[in-house]
A = this chain, B = another copy of it.
Amino acid sequence: MANAFDGNDELLEPETKELIRRRSAVLAPSYRLFYRAPVSVVRAEGVWLYDAEGRRYLDAYNNVPAVGHSHPHVRQRVDEQMRVLNTHTRYLTEPLIAYSERLLALFPPELSKIVYTCTGSEAVDLALRVARYETGARGIICTSHAYHGTTAAAAEISPSLGPNNPIGPEVILVDVPDSYRDDPTAAAEIFAARVKAAIAMLGQRGVGLAAMIVDSVLSSDGVQTDPAGWLAPAADAVHEAGGMWIADEVQPGFGRLGTGWWGFTRHGLKPDLVVLGKPMGNGIPIAAVVGTDAAMDRFGRDIRYFNTFGGNPVSIAAANAVLDVIENDDLIANASAVGARLRSGLEQVARRHPTIGHVRGCGLFVAAEFVGDPVGREPDAATASAVVNELRDRGILISASGRSENVLKIRPPLPFQAEHADHVVTALDEVLTATTKKKSN
């Protein structure tokens, strides 16, 4: 995993050491911490996290607190609902219906039905169940460094979990065009050809094609945003073969890309199922599958689905408050404007520091790729990791991603302002200047 604490606690403060010791005694070894020196957090507000000593960290990484940490409107709506009612969906409750109407109005009309879950993993898992039941086929195509979640079925389509996580025989991985190294004008065609080959392979394996699932911003594949529309011919190929297109909007969804509510609309494609998650309740667990009638109908009638906490009134109150804030504070336009400014600033830094080979992204989903040199373009994970940790020490939180873990992933809460973007750009410039000086000494 990129940016994981490696267990070396020699240089840590005694309080941090002691917390890590207590933590390791009770949490399973499944848990990982971020950073060479893990960050101990006690409070957060807006785009800032604070540690016990009052040091503040600019949050340039977390997409869950989409409308900002500890947002008062979300808090208030949750508290009002906690005073009144929190139950399940086998009783009738009006706010669930009203929120569903509001959410569906943000989608193309053919995406007309919702099922709520608690996590993106559960939503992905359900979308796979639905697609496999409806098509009668078992095969799933995903991208070769995808992350879609942690249930058994979702992990099976999450090769980014590493070599010990088994990818089953019903899953085919396809490589994503590299928007830095490959010809962008050929990306759509090349990817569609790979998808067609994968469909043929599923046929040969006798499992058929149930669905292809793609994160509409290709986050784990290194944030491959351009050119807009490059996914569409692959989706056409999937539909022609009788499969479903599952748009994983857990990361790009709810306005982060600054081009509307969902990432798939940038690509002009028509998903059968859309998976929502992380930012949906600003941290209160809620996620969903949105789908066409055709996709959802038979599974729903034949099997049913009940998620005890899914769509409960408190989660719905949080989700409704999130939509309020995104709309009232015009956060999609903000993501577009501040994201553009951030990318522009990073491009200027890249001109001074050729170790940044490529800056890309869309809205407030921004990537900067580190390479050994701009001609050879070989991935430089060591510099990416050093930069992530140097920025942490200067009070800015980001992380790295991509197949080679050499891509800075900058993905802040949506109320990120121009001054915050400038602060990231300046700090990165300083870090790289210091590194260059060190190297030349």
Contacts and interface: CB of A to CB of B under 8 A. Distances in A.
B92 A38 contact: yes
A119 interface: yes
A120 to B, nearest CB: 7
B28 A291 contact: yes
Given A92-B16, A283-B87, A28 B151 contact: no
Contact of A78 (B40, B82, B299): B82
B97 A26 contact: yes
Interface stretch (A171-179, A201-209, A258-266, A309-317): A309-317
A40 to B, nearest CB: 4
B121 A307 contact: yes
A138 to B, nearest CB: 11
How many identical subunits does the complex contain? Answer: 2
A65 interface: yes
Interface of A: 1, 16, 19-20, 22-23, 25-34, 38-44, 49, 62, 64-65, 69-70, 74-75, 78-79, 82-94, 96-97, 100-101, 104, 112-115, 117-122, 125-126, 128-129, 150-153, 155, 161-162, 164-165, 277-278, 282-285, 289, 291, 296-297, 299-310, 312, 314-315
Contacts of A122: 118-119, 121-122, 150-151
A63 to B, nearest CB: 9
Contacts of A118: 118-119, 122, 285, 309
Main SS of chain A's interface residues? mixed
Given A85-B44, A101-B22, A29 B296 contact: yes
A151 B125 contact: yes
